[in-house]
DNA sequence: CTGTTAGCGCATTCAT
DNA sequence: ATGAATGCGCTAACAG
């Protein structure tokens, strides 16, 4: 029923090996022969059997990109950029030696993250790109570290994008980490410079590197300015509410923050989406932004410049980082020294922050 | 080096066939034997060789989900929902009979769409879900139709989600189409009911089903109200500007619309993201929304309720449709009669539309 | 440059 | 309920 390489060989009057060679293009073949084979391929509508090919060659052209939330542009931008670098060399129409770059949505679940890695390992994936913050549970870190080591041992190139290097796993090609701490610190410093003294923080989910680093940056700025004593954990926590990285969570957390401290003059959100929810909550409380209260986000997603007022935030070069991760996964770029690179975060001051009211 | 099924068999003191049987779980095996095998699997850290397995069984556990733009939540929401239905049955940790649901980003390019389908065909994918509007170029339609027919013939289940059925391709499991035309019509009828008479339309890319259907709905409403004669193509086109489905395009197109017709009292955008760009352009021209001019979007993406003013739009049940497509792809839901279902679109009236100024 | 030969690792007959 | 044998379709030495 389905046409095989042998059929093509018969039609082109050559051996199967020759067909394989022209298809893979990694071996000298006479132009006339190649022509004949290609014609037979087209006439027969032949499509290579991937599993058979992978089995024989002990490699596959699958590249997996893991994301925490596919509906979040933060991941979409990185994944899209990586995918373009990996599978983007504009096919010949016949789909030659291209890689199959695919994105896998873990939904932020540790189990699904591991499951996907196993599935990719099973497929003998050529490379795996892990994007976004990691979960900090010790058991999960250990499991991930072991799994990534095994993947790397099996020849899969592992690249981290927007995620700090995993302790104990040096089998990795490269880790591109965002300077979340620095960005968080500069953002809050900006607020303090404007004159804010009572600043609430809407944090992301606990046990996430991204959450922790941004929060640490914020608290470092707060402590440096003497707003809250570095040792006063209770007060730090009073001004912090954790939630997930979505709008709803930002809305609820902001209400809670206002309840705890009605005299707040600024709210810093874990990311832009959360900031949107925070703005909505504030507005529903009759507060004007930025006249009555300032709001800041993180990531500088495309919509941030469009909301009213436009959002003060921290720009992360998501597209560039994703593209670089893609090249690294393909072996088209030399890894940074030590395999680790920190990607700078840039403060973007816009309309949602202003001096507090006198 | 890498451990194979034979190694597991040796360790468990059974034949390779038995190991295969417990792993696939589709054959009676004594409980004690199964136990022994499973233990050996864990001890050896064995991971099935996907390519070998697929080759022998002539099937694979790969399911592809094609999207036009992975950075757009419109696709992210559908893809995420589909992926959950397909690969979401919470693995046992050992990754049993799970499917590998992956999303492929075509970037809206016809070539890449076909390339991805070929790549998935090569992998002998178990199913393919195509999301979002289709390109209307006749050559591409023919190529797609042929490709999908071949995929279906090879046993791949093909499901369309948010895309109208392809002419000539009845090998498809099901097509879930959004009522873009009806939604577009009701949206413009709402504007007309408010008293608007000069309405500009920022359309999506030409040659896309989604673009065309929404625009047709809009024009049907306009014609029914007698605002522009159905035959007056020149006037219809004067009040329409095409662009891509992004913010920037919405911004530019709106400026152009204003140039052509400064007395516009309402702008209808191809989708919410475009509407955001339109709002920005209007504001930059010193116009207030909705006092001076009304704006409407389409899709009801999560941010639409958060922008100021909140966006009047048309709600599409993206999550539900994606989930249903996922179940259809898995064979867990019976296809609609004729394989085609039209999914209703609901008008959401919010703050961005109001009666025009007297 | 091209043909021949051997597996790759597993699922599946068919026996037992 | 389990084992032995066969072949899935292709690539990779190895010859020539």
Is the confidence at residue B166, as pLDDT, over 90?
no
Q: Give percent of chain A above pLDDT 90.
A: 90
* Alpha helix (H) residue ranges in A45-160: 50-57, 73-87, 110-122, 138-153
Report the SS3 class of residue B258.
helix
Chain-centre distance of CA A262, in angstroms? 36
Is the confidence at residue B66, as pLDDT, over 50?
yes
Separation between Cα atoms, residue A159 and residue A330, nearest integer Å: 10
Which residues numbered 160-179 in chain B sit less than 7 A from strand C, measured from CB?
A: none
Separation between Cα atoms, residue B102 and residue B222, nearest integer Å: 42
Is the confidence at residue B358, as pLDDT, over 80?
no
Is the confidence at residue A283, as pLDDT, over 60?
yes
Q: What is the pLDDT of residues A212-235, one digit of tens each?
A: 999 999 999 999 999 998 889 999
Separation between Cα atoms, residue A296 and residue A310, nearest integer Å: 10
* Angle, vertex CA B304, rays to CA B302 and CA B310, nearest 5: 140
pLDDT at position B96 is 57
Encoded tokens for B158? 């093909």
- Candidates A100, A107, A98; CA nearest to A245 is A107
Spell out which residues of chain B touch residue A76, defining contact as CB-CB under 8 Å.
69-73, 76
* Angle, vertex CA A308, rays to CA A303 and CA A310, nearest 5: 60
Q: Which helix (H) or strand (E) holds B242?
A: strand B240-242
Name the one residue in this structure whose structure tokens are 């436009």. A310
Q: Are B296 and B268 in contact (CB under 8 A)?
A: yes
Q: What is the pLDDT of residues A91-104, one digit of tens each?
A: 444 555 689 999 99
Lowest mean pLDDT segment, chosen from A226-230, A248-252, A295-299, B167-171: B167-171
Q: Average pLDDT of chain B?
A: 94
Separation between Cα atoms, residue A243 and residue A252, nearest integer Å: 9
Q: What is the mean pLDDT of residues A129-156?
A: 94
pLDDT at position B97 is 64
Encoded tokens for B352? 């961005």
- Scanning B222-251 for CB atoms below 8 A from A yields 247
Between B214 and A27, name the one with better pLDDT.
Answer: B214
pLDDT at position A171 is 77
Residues in chain B, overall count? 358
**Beta-strand relationship, B313-315 and B346-348:** antiparallel
Separation between Cα atoms, residue B305 and residue A248, nearest integer Å: 11
Lowest mean pLDDT segment, chosen from A86-95, A123-132, A139-148, B308-317: A86-95
pLDDT at position B88 is 65
First to last CA, chain B: 81
Q: For residue B87, what pLDDT band results from cuts at 50, 70 and 90? A: confident
pLDDT at position B123 is 95
Q: Do B91 and A100 touch (CB under 8 A)?
A: no
How many residue pairs bridge chain A and chain B with CB atoms within 8 Å of each other? 192
A343 touches strand C (CB under 7 A): no
Encoded tokens for A331? 């072996």
Separation between Cα atoms, residue A181 and residue A215, nearest integer Å: 7
Separation between Cα atoms, residue A299 and residue A334, nearest integer Å: 26
Instruction: List A342's β-bridge partners, or say none.
Output: A177
> Which of B72, B95, B103 has its CB closest to that of A118?
B95
Residues in chain A, overall count? 358
Separation between Cα atoms, residue B354 and residue A321, nearest integer Å: 43
- Scanning B131-170 for CB atoms below 8 A from A yields 150, 154
Report the SS3 class of residue A83.
helix
B308 to chain A, any CB pair closer than 8 A? The answer is yes
pLDDT at position A25 is 85
Separation between Cα atoms, residue A117 and residue A104, nearest integer Å: 10
**Beta-strand relationship, A346-348 and A313-315:** antiparallel
Encoded tokens for A310? 């436009």
pLDDT at position B171 is 77
Is the confidence at residue B95, as pLDDT, over 60?
no
Encoded tokens for B97? 């009979």
Separation between Cα atoms, residue A92 and residue A110, nearest integer Å: 39
Report the SS3 class of residue B157.
strand
Q: What is the mean pLDDT of residues B15-23?
A: 95
Separation between Cα atoms, residue A351 and residue A308, nearest integer Å: 8
Q: Give percent of chain A above pLDDT 70.
A: 97
Q: What is the pLDDT of residues B199-253, one digit of tens each?
A: 999 999 999 999 999 999 999 999 999 999 889 999 999 999 999 999 999 999 9
Q: How many CB atoms lie within 10 A of CB B200?
A: 24
pLDDT at position A98 is 80
Q: What is the pLDDT of residues A60-80, one digit of tens each?
A: 999 999 999 999 999 999 999
For A126, half-sphere exposure in the C-beta direction (CA atoms, 13 angstrom radius) is: 21
Within 8 A by CB and 6+ apart from B109, the residues are none
Separation between Cα atoms, residue A308 and residue B9, nearest integer Å: 65
Between B75 and A1, name the one with better pLDDT.
Answer: B75
Q: What is the mean pLDDT of residues B26-35?
A: 89
Q: Are B69 and A79 in contact (CB under 8 A)?
A: no
B56 touches strand D (CB under 7 A): yes
Q: Do B123 and A62 touch (CB under 8 A)?
A: yes
Q: Are A282 and A252 in contact (CB under 8 A)?
A: no
pLDDT at position B27 is 83
> Which of A79, A115, A279 has its CB closest to that of B95?
A115
Separation between Cα atoms, residue B138 and residue B146, nearest integer Å: 12
Q: Do B2 and A107 touch (CB under 8 A)?
A: no
Within 8 A by CB and 6+ apart from A226, the residues are none
Q: Do B69 and A80 touch (CB under 8 A)?
A: yes
pLDDT at position B91 is 46
The protein residue nearest nucleotide C9, judged by CA to C1', is B52
Separation between Cα atoms, residue B322 and residue B161, nearest integer Å: 7
Q: What is the pLDDT of residues A313-346, one digit of tens each?
A: 999 999 999 999 999 999 999 999 999 999 999 9
Q: Are B273 and B246 in contact (CB under 8 A)?
A: yes
Q: Do B95 and A72 touch (CB under 8 A)?
A: no
pLDDT at position A167 is 80
Sheet holding B199-203, edge to edge: B240-242, B199-203, B266-269, B294-296
Q: Do A79 and B101 touch (CB under 8 A)?
A: no
Instruction: Name the residue in chain B with its Cα closest to that of A246.
Output: B302
Diameter of chain A by CA atoms? 88
Bin A201: left if φ > 0, else alpha if -120 < ψ < 50, else beta: beta
Q: What is the mean pLDDT of residues A123-130?
A: 96
Is the confidence at residue B92, as pLDDT, over 50?
no
Spell out which residues of chain A touch residue B90, defining contact as CB-CB under 8 Å.
111-112
CA distances from B200 to A111, B209, B308, B314 (A): 49, 20, 21, 17
pLDDT at position B344 is 98
Report the SS3 class of residue B77.
helix
Encoded tokens for A43? 């006439």
């Amino acid at each position: 029923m389905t046409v095989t390489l042998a059929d093509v060989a018969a039609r082109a009057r050559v051996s199967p090996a020759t067909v394989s060679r022209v298809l893979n293009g990694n071996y000298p073949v006479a132009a006339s022969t190649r022509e004949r084979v290609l014609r037979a391929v087209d006439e027969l509508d032949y499509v290579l059997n991937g599993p058979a090919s992978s089995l024989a060659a002990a490699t596959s052209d699958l590249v997996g990109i893991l994301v925490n939330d596919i509906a979040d542009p933060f991941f979409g931008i990185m994944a899209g950029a990586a995918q373009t670098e990996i599978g983007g060399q504009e096919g010949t129409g016949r789909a030659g030696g291209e890689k199959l770059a695919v994105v896998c949505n873990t939904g932020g679940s540790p189990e699904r993250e591991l499951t996907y890695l196993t599935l990719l390992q099973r497929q003998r994936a050529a490379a795996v790109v892990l994007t976004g913050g990691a979960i900090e549970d010790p058991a999960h870190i250990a499991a991930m570290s072991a799994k990534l080591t095994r993947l790397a041992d099996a020849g899969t190139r592992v690249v981290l994008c927007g995620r700090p290097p995993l302790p104990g796993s040096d089998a990795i090609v490269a880790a591109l980490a965002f300077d979340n701490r620095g960005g968080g610190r500069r953002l809050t410093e900006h607020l303090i410079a404007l004159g804010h003294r009572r600043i609430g923080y809407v944090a992301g989910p606990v046990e996430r590197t991204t959450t922790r680093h941004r929060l640490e940056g914020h608290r470092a700025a707060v402590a440096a300015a003497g707003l809250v004593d570095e040792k006063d954990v209770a007060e730090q926590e009073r001004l912090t509410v954790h939630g997930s990285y979505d709008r709803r969570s930002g809305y609820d957390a902001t209400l809670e923050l206002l309840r705890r401290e009605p005299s707040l003059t600024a709210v810093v959100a874990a990311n832009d989406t959360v900031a949107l929810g925070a703005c909505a909550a504030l507005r529903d409380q009759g507060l004007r932004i930025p006249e009555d209260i300032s709001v800041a986000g993180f990531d500088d997603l495309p919509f941030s410049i469009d909301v009213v007022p436009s959002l003060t935030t921290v720009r992360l070069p998501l597209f560039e980082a994703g593209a670089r991760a893609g090249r690294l996964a393909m072996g088209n770029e030399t890894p940074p020294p030590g395999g680790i690179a920190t990607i700078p975060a840039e403060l973007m001051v816009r309309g949602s922050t202003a001096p507090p009211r006198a």
